[in-house]
């Protein structure tokens, strides 16, 4: 299927989903972080939505943190690797991301098309999975599929903001129930707090690391090679390996950095 770059209506729909409460069930609400889940009638893959209030962090700083791949390597301990593949337009690109799954599951990776839009006091970044001929599935990973993933950042004042994260990902495998529970109760809340803590430290870090380099704001700074839409196709889940990990038992280990009650 052909790939389409999101337009204003796609961003508007994404924002509505982030702010809507209809059909969403609260799974976690503690220390300023809320996690909701939603079952989709047309899909076996549920949506997860998170929100965190970010005191002393501006919307602009959050937006920079979520774009800055160099800084992400400092705070995203679930990440194995990430890199940009190429640019499509001034506000759309293609990239690679791999992340560690809870032991003993196999690690997952993605190739996604990402698009972003600052709009008034709102900032949005959304992505979905695509196929790129030079970046096929890798032997040591399960290629997962992002049906829709993104961030909505809303400015509350000159010194505070709210971050929403919404994701619907097909992990390409039958996962055991303990994994789903761990994601909503531990991994997701911890990830949101990591972004918040990283954002508090970002201004000082950025002052020492190419402070004027922000290609997500200044497209003339973007040095990525161009990618043609014609080279991309929509990544369909049914074309990928589907593994059964439903019988995998949870390993009892020391709480990792991605877990917090």
State the Cα–Cα distance between residues 219 and 212, nearest whole angstrom. Answer: 12
Cα distances from 112 to residues 22, 59, 97, 186, 207, in angstroms, run 28, 24, 8, 25, 30
- What pLDDT does residue 104 have? 77
Alpha-carbon gap, residue 54 to 35, rounded angstroms: 15
Q: What is the mean pLDDT of the chain?
A: 87
- Give per-residue pLDDT as tens, 139-174: 889 899 999 999 999 999 999 999 999 999 888 766
The pLDDT confidence band at residue 254, using thresholds 50, 70 and 90, is: very low
Residue bearing tokens 């049914």: 238
Identify the pLDDT of residue 68. 96
> pLDDT-derived band of residue 65, with 50, 70 and 90 as boundaries?
very high
Judge if the upstream peptide bond of residue 240 is cis by omega within 30 degrees of 0: no
Two structure tokens written together for 134: 């030079």
Residue 259 has pLDDT above 50, yes or no: no
- pLDDT value of position 261: 37
* pTM passes above 0.85: yes
pLDDT tens readout for residues 87-136: 999 999 999 999 988 777 889 999 999 999 999 999 999 999 999 999 99
Q: What is the 3-state secondary structure (H, E, C) of 5-40?
A: CCCHHHHHHHHHHHHCCCCCEEEEEECCEEEEEECC
Rounded distance, CA 90 to CA 217, Å?
Answer: 9
pLDDT number for residue 6: 95
Query: What pLDDT was estimated at residue 177?
Result: 62
């Amino acid at each position: 299927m052909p790939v389409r770059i999101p337009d204003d209506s796609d961003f508007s729909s994404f924002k509505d989903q982030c702010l809507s409460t209809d059909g969403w069930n609260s799974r976690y609400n503690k220390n300023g972080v809320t996690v909701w889940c939603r079952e989709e009638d047309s899909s076996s893959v549920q949506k997860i939505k998170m929100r965190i209030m970010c005191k002393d962090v501006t919307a602009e700083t959050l937006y920079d943190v979520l774009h800055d791949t160099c800084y992400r390597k400092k705070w995203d301990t679930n990440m194995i690797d990430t890199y940009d593949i190429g640019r499509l337009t001034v506000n759309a690109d293609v990239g690679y991301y791999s992340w560690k799954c809870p032991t003993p599951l196999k690690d997952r990776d993605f190739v996604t098309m990402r698009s972003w839009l600052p709009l008034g006091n709102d900032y949005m970044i959304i992505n979905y999975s695509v196929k790129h001929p030079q970046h096929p599935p890798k032997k040591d990973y399960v290629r997962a599929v992002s049906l829709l993933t993104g961030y909505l950042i809303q400015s509350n004042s000159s010194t505070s903001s709210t971050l929403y994260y919404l994701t619907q990902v097909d992990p390409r495998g039958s996962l055991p129930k303990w994994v789903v529970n761990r994601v909503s109760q531990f991994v997701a809340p911890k990830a949101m707090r990591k972004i918040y803590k990283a954002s508090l430290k970002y201004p000082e870090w950025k002052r020492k690391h190419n402070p004027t380099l922000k290609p997500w704001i200044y497209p003339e700074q973007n040095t990525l090679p161009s990618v043609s839409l014609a080279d991309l196709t929509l990544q369909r889940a049914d074309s990928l390996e589907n593994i059964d990990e439903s019988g995998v038992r949870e390993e009892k280990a020391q709480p990792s950095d991605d877990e917090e009650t």
